[in-house]
Amino acid sequence: MNSTAGLLAPFNTAHALEGSAFVHFDGALHASFATTDFNAAVMFVNRVAQAADAMNHHPDVTLGYGNVGFRLRSHDVGGVTARDLKLAAIVDGLASALGAEALIARPARYDLAIDCTDADAIRPFWAAALNYEELAGVDGIDLVDPRGIAPKVWFQHMEIARTDRNRVHLDVYVTGDEAEERVQIIVEAGGTLLTDEHAPDWWVLADVEGNEICVCSATL
């Protein structure tokens, strides 16, 4: 069986998500809602839980005082499927029925990149220091938080070690329609745009002391 069967990309879900509180980002559907108080938030989660149980398809949920967040993802294929769209529609309907207010969803992902000439030599150090686990990534072996909370660490290969710049930088992944706005905000805050040659996939910026950050558009 193809492990990616039924997997949907953002352009596949754009029409279905028109008018929805959900945003397709980084292989999942994300939405946040405001409620009148904690009890209302709990009631909302309980109603969604009943619907999810009936579908045997369960979301990740964050619950706070007067706010609820949902992340929908089909773990068997590693991304968004029609099941997630169906559950998103149910959540939207329950929110409307219960008076929960949809908030503007601005999901983001943060990765830590380390420039190195020999990733295998330094990876055990970082795994031990952070108590992370190894995970096969696109460009080699990454390190991930087993709790699924802290940023992923990946290793960017260099043929010759750089000594004239910081060799650790952050990658900030945002939705495609937010990326250019984020770049402009950073520039207005005193940042320098070092290159946009890879835009709209990513932009490289630096603070006044030369510490770098990449703003990246999530496309999956």
| 200 upstream amide cis, omega within 30 of 0 | yes
pLDDT, average across residues 173-197:
92
Q: Are residues 117 and 158 in the same domain?
A: yes
Query: Using one digit for the tens of pLDDT, what is the confidence trace for 79-120?
Result: 999 999 999 999 999 999 999 999 998 899 999 999 999 999
CATH at 73: 3.30.1360.20
pLDDT, average across residues 192-211:
92
Q: Are the beta carbons of 216 and 25 closer than 8 angstroms?
A: no
Given 43, 69, 103, which residue is the final one in a domain? 103
Q: Report the C-alpha gap between 32 and 21 in whole angstroms.
A: 7
Q: Are residues 98 and 131 in the same domain?
A: no
Given 53, 78, 103, which residue is the final one in a domain? 103
Give pTM, 2 decimals. 0.82
Query: Using one digit for the tens of pLDDT, what is the confidence trace for 49-76?
Result: 999 999 999 999 999 999 999 999 998 8
Q: Report the C-alpha gap between 69 and 35 in whole angstroms.
A: 11
Q: Are residues 91 and 118 in the same domain?
A: no
Per-residue burial over 124-151, b if 16 or more Cβ lie within 10 Å, else e, is: eebbeeeebeeeeeeeeebbbeeeeeeb
Q: Report the C-alpha gap between 84 and 67 in whole angstroms.
A: 21
Q: Are residues 169 and 209 in the same domain?
A: yes
- Based on the structure, what is the number of domains in the chain? 2
Query: Using one digit for the tens of pLDDT, what is the confidence trace for 7-34?
Result: 999 999 999 999 999 999 999 999 999 9
- List the beta strands (DSSP E) in the chain: 23-25, 28-34, 60-64, 67-72, 101-103, 108-116, 133-137, 140-144, 152-157, 168-174, 192-195, 202-206, 212-217
Residue 2 has what pLDDT?
Answer: 43
In a domain? residue 1: no
Q: Are residues 212 and 118 in the same domain?
A: yes
Domain that holds residue 192: 112-216
Given 74, 103, 132, which residue is the final one in a domain? 103
In a domain? residue 2: no
Average pLDDT, the chain: 91
When comparing pLDDT for 102 and 138, which is higher?
102
In a domain? residue 62: yes
Residue 187's pLDDT band (cuts 50, 70, 90) = very high
